[in-house]
Amino acid sequence: MKKTILPVLCQLMIAVPCALMAQQPVETGKPNSNYQPAFAGQTRVNSVKTTTDYKVEKIAEKLGAPFAIVAMPDGRLLVTLKKGYVEIHDTNGKLVKKIEGFPPIDFVGQGGLLDVAFDPAYASNHMIYWSYSEKYGIGNCTAIAKGKLNEADGKVEKVSVIFRALPELKSQLHFGSRLLFDKAGYLFVSVGERSIMAGRVQAQKLESGLGKIFRITKDGKAAPGNPFINTAGAIPQIYSYGHRNPQGLDINPATGDLWDAEFGPRGGDEINLVKPGKDYGWPTITYGIEYSGEKVGDALQQKAGMEQPVYYWDPVVSPSGMSFYHGNTIPEWHNNLFIACLSGTHIARIVIKNNKVVGEERLLADKKERFRDVAYSNGMLYALTDGGDIYKISKK
């Protein structure tokens, strides 16, 4: 009897700690503050681990100051370079074409040529839309332009600026910015509050274009049904407000909801479920503190009428571009959210159920790279680093 029981007990003693370890959060570092979450699972959720074998290949390197990697309608990859041009690469990373002809870019600090979105009717009209930092008035601003992509001649044509997030400021920071078409053919645009105090306070003001997510037509007008179209003094293109620096934007394929990821200060990086007309709190509420170590404002984390983040990090991971995994090539990743993390030097895999985060995993942490963007295409993920490397993540 003893001979039968003892081996079983030994196995249990070994297995239990392993199971417990698997449930520990991926973040073990000391937070910047003692702020408490508003609900269970809002931060440091239990870790998960991918069981499917997958491979990671570096398919391009040293492209130079990129911002976005976007899957083209035909499956190839378009990469924006902040200095003012884009590159088309095939799915194996080979450079196919350099595209120029963009309007003058204010390539300073975090600014430059930023994101690109393809017109839903791209197959017939070849129109693309892009965000960039533009010298304007007394400073600069985040601008949105459109033009026809002439791949054969390596240029964009018939360029026009359709929207500017004003007022302009003298700042090199927090331009945003991601672009995303919804199923109705309207364009979501995320814009930061420009970091400096003069911009920060405008994130709460509906007459300002700073710290907002917009929903616009292809000509830059307010999309029908926007929440503030009939609000006196409000910019009618505003969809949501109270954002700090939203650099991640995607639509959950399971629900059709818009999600964003945005930078906090020291602590308080956020994932938000973005609803029309809602106030996401910055700078009135936050789970972060100032870079100096001081508290932000009145040090509030909750306030009536302001939305809580679905998830937040403290310390920060610096979440930039993000993408939901649409397919079933790796079944356990279906509808998971993948976020490129800069200071976190990994790709965050976020498992969402019923609009709550239920698991977190860190991928590619061994690369020790600052990840700027991630794109899904045909069952694969493509991760772009700040240093200009592209990694392809696919099933073995």
- The DSSP code for 266 is B
Cα 257 from Cα 391, distance rounded (Å): 28
Q: Could you tell me how far CA 110 lies from the centroid of its own chain?
A: 15
Give me Rg for the CA atoms of the chain: 22
Cα 40 from Cα 49, distance rounded (Å): 21
- The DSSP code for 43 is S
Q: What's the residue count for the chain?
A: 396
Nearest residue to 213 via CA among 233, 183, 185, 193: 193
Among the listed residues 89, 126, 174, 334, the single catalytic one is 174
Tokens of 345: 């030097």
Tokens of 248: 């991640």
What are the percentages of helix, strand and coil residues in the chain, rounded to 5? 10, 40, 50
174 is catalytic: yes
DSSP 157-208: EEEEEEEEEEEEES-SS-----EEE-TTSPEEEEE---SSHHHHGGGG-TT-
Cα 99 from Cα 104, distance rounded (Å): 14
Instruction: Give the catalytic positions in this structure.
Output: 174
